[in-house]
C-alpha cells in the first residue's frame, strides 16, 4: 500500500523541515532496528547501526526521487550499513582504504554511544511486554482492526471489506485500540 | 508630540519586558530585555507619526534622506526621498511599495509588501534568531541630543555581520544604526533631526516624483519553490529561502532568476543570469555592508550579494548546482 | 481530554495510516511537529505497531533513540531540493496556495559539507585582481561597463527586496534611495 503520509513527510524534509524527519524516525525506528537485528545480535551495535542508517538517509534525502517507497529505500540503506559493519569487522587492520571508510562512517557519531545505558534498552523490553498485554486485553474487533492494519498493512478500505463494516467504523476501532493501549504505556515512556 | 501614544508605549514596553523575561527566564535578562527593546522600537516605528532627516554613510560617502511616516485609522504610510541627485524615492502604502528611479526612468512595484515598517525591519519572532545571534543591552548614549539605549545584535560565527541600534528612550524610535563587520562599522544611519507629530499631512506621504509615459515599470514574476532548478549546497545554517522570482530585463525580456535568502537578520540575494559571450568579471565587490561574488556556472552567470562577509557570499556562490533531474 | 484533543488524536491516527479526510492535514502535520505531547503520541502509536509486527526476539528501539538522531541531524545542514512528489490531498485550499506558502515558509538551504571545508578555496585578493586585470586587458572597458550595469541592477533589486527578508536594518530601503550609479 502506498504510504502517502511518508511521501508528504519526505517532501517536507526536502524543503528544509527537519522536524518532519523526526516523525519518520519515530515511525520506522522499530522496524529498522528489528531488520538490523537479523544481521547483528548485539543490542548496542544494532542501535548504533540504526542511528547511522537514519543519518545516512537524511544526508541522501536531496537525491531521493520517490521512485520507490520511502521504507523500501531506507530498508536498503539499513541492510547496506549493517553489511558494511560486518565486513569491516572481518578485514585486516592493514587495509587502509577500509579503515578510512569505516572511520568516516563513525566520525562524529561516536559520542552517541556514551549516552546509551542498558537501562534504556531494558525499559524498551518492559514497554514491549506492556503493549503485548494491552493488545491481548482488547475487545476482539479492536484487536482485529489494528492487527490487520499494522501487521498486514491493509488500507482502511480493505479492512472495511474484510471486517464487513463501514470505513468510519474501521477508523474508530483503530483509534480506540491505539488509545486503549496508549493509556497503559504512557507512564512508561514519560 | 503625541503624549497619549507615548504613554501607551511605555506600558506596552513594560508589558513586553515582563512577557519576554517570563518566557525566557531570569537567567537571560539582558537578552530578553534587548529583544523587548527591539520589539517596542519596531512598534514605535510603525505606529507613530514622524518626519526627519537621516544621514546614510558608507565607504566614506554620506547621503541625506528625508523620512516621512504616518499612521492613521490603522493604516501605515511612509516615504523616503533622497536629497541628492538622482533623487530616488520609495513610497509604501498598505498594499504596495513603489520605488522611483529617475536615473533610469523606471519604477519597481511590489504589490505584496511585507507588513514591516521601513524604519526597522526585523522579523516578528526574535526567538529563532538566538541560535545564530546574541542580543544584548548596552549603555545610554546620546543621539541628536536625545538619550538612547544601545542594543547589540552580535553574530555567533564569522559568517554574518552584526548590528547595533540606538533606541530613543522616550519615543522608542530607532535613531541610529550600524552594520558591523567584527568591530568595524561598514554602514551607518543616523537621524540628524527628528520630529514627532500628531499627524503627517497626506501630501507629505505622496510621491513627489513626476512619472510620464516614457517611464518603464520593472517586470518580475514570483515562482513556487518547486520550480527551482538549482540546488543550494553551500548555505550556512539558519538561512532560509524567502522568495524565488524571475526578473524580466531588456527589450527581449531576458530572464534572471533571483533567490532571496535570509536568516532573519541578514539577507542575501542570488542572481542567476545568462552568460553573455565570454565577457564577465569574477572580481568580488564590496559596497558598504554588501559583499558580492560572481562565478560562471555552465552557461549561466551566478552572482551572490548581501549583508554578509565576503567569505559567506563566496561559499554560497560556490555551492550552487543545477539539479540533475528537473520536474520529476 | 477535551473533544478537540480527542479529535486531533483521532485525525493523527488516520494520518499515520495515510487515511485522509480532505481536511487541512498540512496544519495537522505542523501541529504534530511542534507539539511535544502530540509528537510523543505519534511515537507511542508507532511503537504499538512495532510490537504487533515484531517477532519473538524482536529488539525495540531505545527510548532515547529518536532524540539522539534528532540531535545529530540538528547539526546537519538543511536540505533544499524541492521535488514534485505526489502531494497530500486537501480539498479546502488550492494546491497552488499550499505549494507557495508551504515552500517559502519552510524552505531552508543547506550545506552538504562543513563550512570550514571551503576555507582553502577562498580566492586571495591578488588572484581576483590578476584575473580582473586579464579580463580588462582582453576586453577593455566593455567588460566593466556591461558588468557594472548588470551589477547595479542586481544591487537595486537586492535592496528593494532585502527588507522583505526581515533584514534587520533601519530603513531597509535606504540603499535603494541612497545609492546612485557609479558609486
Same domain, A22 and A92: yes
Say whether pLDDT at A155 is over 80.
yes
Residue C53 lies in a domain: yes
Instruction: Assess whether A89 and A148 both reside in one domain.
Output: no
pLDDT digits (tens, 9 = 90+) for A23-69: 999 999 998 998 888 888 888 899 999 999 999 999 888 778 777 88
Domain check: are C145 and C90 in the same one?
Answer: no
What is the pLDDT, as a whole number, of residue B299? 86
| pLDDT at residue C145, rounded to an integer | 62
Same domain, C82 and C136: no
Record the pTM: 0.54
Among A89, A116, A143, the domain-final residue is: A116
Give the pairing type, strands B216-217 and B61-72: unpaired
Q: Which domain holds residue A154?
A: 120-189
Smallest Cβ–Cβ distance between C77 and the set B65, B237, B318 belongs to: B237
Q: Are residues A77 and A137 in the same domain?
A: no
Which pLDDT value is given to residue B302?
A: 92
Residue-level pLDDT, tens digit, chain C, 183 residues = 888 889 999 999 999 999 887 777 888 999 999 899 999 999 999 989 988 887 544 677 887 899 999 999 887 766 766 555 555 554 333 333 333 333 333 333 322 223 333 333 333 334 344 444 554 454 445 545 666 777 788 888 888 777 665 556 667 677 777 765 433
Question: Has residue B69 got a pLDDT over 50?
Answer: yes
Chain C residues touching residue B84 (CB < 8 angstroms)? 178, 180
Average pLDDT, chain B: 82
Whether residues C70 and C133 share a domain: the answer is no
Hey, which chains touch C, using 3+ CB pairs under 8 Å?
A, B
Look at residue A142 and tell me whether its pLDDT is greater than 90. yes
Query: Which of these, B39, B50, B35, B53, lies nearest to B5 by C-alpha position?
Result: B50
Do C91 and C170 fall within a single domain?
Answer: no
Residue C168 in any domain: the answer is yes
Q: In the prediction, which pLDDT does B32 show?
A: 87
Question: What residues contact B140, with CB distance under 8 A and at least 6 apart?
Answer: B147, B148, B149, B150, B169
Paired with B174 in beta bridges are B167
User: C127 touching B, CB under 8 A?
Assistant: no
pLDDT at A120 over 70: no
Which chains does chain B touch, 3 or more C-beta pairs < 8 A?
Answer: A, C
CATH code where residue A72 lies = 1.10.1740.10
Q: Considering only CB atoms, which chain A residues are within 8 Å of B325?
A: 65
Q: Cβ–Cβ of A15/C107 closer than 8 Å?
A: yes
Mean pLDDT of B47-72: 88
Reported as a pLDDT band with limits 50, 70 and 90, residue B313 is: very high
pLDDT of residue A20: 93
Same domain membership, residue C83 and residue C8: yes
A&C contacts, CB < 8 Å: 230
C88 and C131 inside one domain: no
- A14 plus A101 within the same structural domain: yes
CATH number of A179's domain: 1.10.10.10
Cβ separation B225–A15 shorter than 8 A: yes
Residues of C in contact with B101 (CB under 8 A): 156
Q: How many CA atoms lie within 13 A of B85 on its CB side?
A: 3
- Give me the residue spans of the domains in chain B: 3-205, 219-322
Chain-chain contact of A65 with B328 (C-beta, under 8 angstroms): yes
Best mutation target, B269, B289, B326, B327, to test chain C (most C CBs within 10 A)? B269
- The minimum CA-CA distance between B307 and chain C, rounded to whole Å, is 9
Cα angle B253, B256, B258 (rounded to 5 degrees) comes to 140
Q: Which of A2, A25, A170 best tests the C interface by mutation, with the highest count of C CBs <10 A?
A: A25
Please give the ipTM for the structure prediction.
0.75
Q: Are residues A177 and A109 in the same domain?
A: no
pLDDT of C183 reads 36
Q: Check whether residue A167 and residue A143 sit in a common domain.
A: yes
In terms of CATH architecture, what is B219-322? 2-Layer Sandwich (3.30)
B110 contacts in chain C (CB < 8 Å)? 160-161, 164
pLDDT digits (tens, 9 = 90+) for B202-250: 999 999 998 888 998 887 777 776 677 888 877 887 887 878 888 887 7
**Rg over CA atoms, chain B:** 21
Domain count, chain C: 2
CA–CA separation, A47 and A55 (whole Å): 12
State the pLDDT at residue C167. Answer: 57
**C21 and C68 housed in the same domain:** yes
Residues A84, A45: one domain?
yes
Q: How much is the pLDDT for A123? A: 60
Cα dist. B231→B180, B244, B270, C79 in Å?
Answer: 30, 13, 12, 9
- Going by CATH, does the domain composed of B3-205 fall within 2.50.20.10? yes
Task: Clarify whether residues C58 and C137 are in a common domain.
Answer: no
In chain B, the residue whose alpha carbon lies closest to the alpha carbon of A16 is: B240
Mutation test of the interface with chain B: which of C74, C155, C166, C175, choosing the one with the most B Cβ atoms within 10 A? C166
Residues A59 and A137 in one domain: no
Interface of B with A (CB under 8 A): 225, 231, 240-241, 325, 328
Contact B153/B164 with Cβ under 8 angstroms? yes
Pairing of strands B106-110, B216-217: parallel
- In this structure, are A154 and A172 located in the same domain? yes
Q: Over range B14-33, report the average pLDDT.
A: 61
Q: Are residues C34 and C71 part of one domain?
A: yes
Nearest-by-Cβ selection for C81 from B120, B231, B287: B231
C74 and C49 in one domain?
yes
The mean predicted confidence, pLDDT, of chain A is: 80
- Which residue range forms the structural domain that includes residue C129? 123-178
Structural domain total, chain A: 2
Chain A contact set for C19 (CB, 8 A): 155-156, 171
Q: For residue A65, give the nearest of B225, B240, B325 by CB distance.
A: B325
Q: What pLDDT, in 10s, does the model give residues B132-169?
A: 899 999 999 988 788 999 999 999 988 899 999 999 99
Nearest CB among B121, B236, B271 relative to C166 is that of B121
C93 to chain B, minimum CA–CA distance in Å? 16
Same domain, A85 and A18: yes
Shared-domain flag, residues C27 and C58: yes
Q: Which residues of A touch C23 (CB under 8 A)?
A: none
A15 close to B (CB below 8 A): yes
Taking an 8 Å cut-off on Cβ atoms, the answer to whether B225 and A62 are in contact is no
In chain A, pLDDT over 70 holds for what percent of residues?
A: 79
Q: B291 pairs with which residues across the strands?
A: B286, B306
Q: Cα separation of B56 and C123, whole Å? A: 31
Amino acid at each position: 500500500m502506498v504510504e502517502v503520509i511518508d511521501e508528504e513527510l519526505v517532501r517536507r524534509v526536502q524543503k528544509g523541515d527537519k522536524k518532519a524527519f523526526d516523525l519518520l524516525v519515530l515511525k520506522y525506528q522499530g522496524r529498522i532496528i528489528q531488520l538490523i537485528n537479523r544481521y547483528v545480535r548485539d543490542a548496542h551495535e544494532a542501535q548504533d547501526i540504526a542511528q547511522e542508517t537514519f543519518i545516512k538517509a537524511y544526508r541522501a534525502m536531496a537525491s531521493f526521487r520517490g521512485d520507490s517507497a520511502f521504507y523500501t529505500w531506507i530498508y536498503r540503506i539499513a541492510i547496506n550499513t549493517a553489511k558494511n559493519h560486518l565486513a569491516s569487522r572481518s578485514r585486516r587492520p592493514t587495509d587502509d582504504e577500509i579503515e578510512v571508510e569505516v572511520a568516516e562512517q563513525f566520525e562524529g557519531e561516536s559520542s552517541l554511544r556514551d549516552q546509551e545505558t542498558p537501562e534504556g534498552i531494558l525499559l524498551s523490553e518492559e514497554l514491549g511486554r506492556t503493549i503485548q498485554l494491552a493488545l491481548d486485553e482488547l475487545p476482539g474487533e479492536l484487536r482485529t482492526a489494528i492487527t490487520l492494519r499494522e501487521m498486514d498493512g491493509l488500507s482502511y478500505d480493505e479492512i472495511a471489506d474484510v471486517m464487513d463494516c463501514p470505513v468510519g467504523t474501521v477508523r474508530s476501532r483503530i483509534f480506540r485500540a491505539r488509545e486503549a493501549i496508549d493509556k497503559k504505556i504512557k507512564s512508561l515512556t514519560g | 508630540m503625541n503624549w497619549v501614544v507615548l504613554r501607551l508605549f511605555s506600558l506596552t514596553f513594560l508589558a513586553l519586558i515582563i512577557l519576554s523575561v517570563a518566557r525566557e527566564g531570569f537567567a537571560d535578562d539582558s537578552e530578553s530585555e534587548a529583544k523587548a527593546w527591539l520589539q517596542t522600537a519596531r512598534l514605535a516605528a510603525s505606529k507613530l507619526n514622524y518626519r526627519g532627516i537621516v544621514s546614510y554613510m558608507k565607504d566614506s560617502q554620506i547621503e541625506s534622506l528625508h523620512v516621512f511616516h504616518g499612521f492613521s485609522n490603522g493604516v501605515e504610510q511612509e516615504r523616503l526621498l533622497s536629497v541628492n541627485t538622482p533623487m530616488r524615492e520609495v513610497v509604501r502604502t498598505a498594499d504596495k511599495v513603489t520605488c522611483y528611479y529617475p536615473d533610469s526612468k523606471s519604477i519597481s512595484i511590489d504589490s505584496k509588501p511585507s507588513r514591516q515598517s521601513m524604519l526597522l525591519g526585523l522579523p516578528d519572532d526574535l526567538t529563532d534568531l538566538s541560535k545564530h545571534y546574541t542580543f544584548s543591552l548596552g549603555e545610554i548614549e546620546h543621539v541628536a541630543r536625545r538619550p538612547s539605549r544601545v542594543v547589540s545584535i552580535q553574530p555567533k560565527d564569522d559568517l554574518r555581520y552584526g548590528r547595533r541600534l540606538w533606541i530613543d528612550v522616550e519615543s522608542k524610535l530607532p535613531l541610529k544604526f550600524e552594520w558591523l563587520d567584527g568591530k568595524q562599522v561598514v554602514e551607518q544611519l543616523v537621524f540628524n533631526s527628528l520630529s514627532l507629530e500628531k499627524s503627517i499631512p497626506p501630501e507629505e506621504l505622496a510621491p513627489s516624483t513626476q512619472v510620464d509615459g516614457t517611464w518603464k515599470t520593472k517586470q518580475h514574476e514570483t515562482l513556487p519553490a518547486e520550480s527551482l532548478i538549482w540546488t543550494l549546497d553551500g548555505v550556512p545554517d539558519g538561512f532560509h529561502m524567502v522568495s524565488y522570482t524571475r526578473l524580466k530585463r531588456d527589450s527581449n525580456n531576458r530572464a534572471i532568476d533571483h533567490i532571496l535568502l535570509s536568516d532573519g537578520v541578514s539577507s542575501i540575494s542570488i542572481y542567476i543570469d545568462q552568460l553573455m559571450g565570454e565577457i564577465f568579471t569574477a572580481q568580488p565587490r564590496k559596497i558598504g555592508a554588501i559583499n558580492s561574488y560572481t562565478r560562471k556556472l555552465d552557461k549561466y552567470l551566478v552572482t551572490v550579494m548581501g549583508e554578509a562577509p565576503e567569505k559567506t557570499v563566496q561559499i554560497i556562490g560556490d555551492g550552487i548546482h543545477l539539479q540533475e533531474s528537473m520536474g520529476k | 481530554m477535551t473533544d478537540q484533543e480527542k479529535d486531533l488524536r483521532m485525525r493523527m491516527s488516520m494520518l499515520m495510516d495515510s487515511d485522509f479526510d480532505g481536511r487541512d492535514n498540512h496544519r495537522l502535520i505542523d501541529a504534530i511537529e511542534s507539539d511535544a505531547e502530540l509528537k510523543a503520541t505519534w511515537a507511542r502509536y508507532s511503537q504499538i505497531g512495532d510490537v504487533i509486527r515484531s517477532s519473538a526476539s524482536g529488539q525495540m528501539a531505545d527510548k532515547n533513540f529518536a532524540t539522539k538522531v534528532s540531535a545529530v541531524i540538528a547539526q546537519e545542514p538543511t536540505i533544499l531540493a524541492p521535488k514534485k512528489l505526489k502531494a497530500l490531498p486537501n480539498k479546502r485550499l488550492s494546491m497552488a496556495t499550499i505549494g507557495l506558502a508551504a515552500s517559502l515558509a519552510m524552505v531552508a538551504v543547506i550545506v552538504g559539507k562543513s563550512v570550514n571545508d571551503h576555507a582553502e578555496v577562498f580566492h586571495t585578493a591578488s588572484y581576483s585582481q590578476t584575473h580582473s586585470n586579464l579580463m580588462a586587458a582582453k576586453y577593455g572597458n566593455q567588460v566593466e561597463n556591461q558588468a557594472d550595469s548588470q551589477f547595479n541592477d542586481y544591487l537595486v533589486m537586492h535592496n528593494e527586496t532585502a527588507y522583505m527578508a526581515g533584514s534587520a536594518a533601519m530603513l531597509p530601503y535606504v540603499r535603494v534611495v541612497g545609492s546612485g550609479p557609479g558609486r
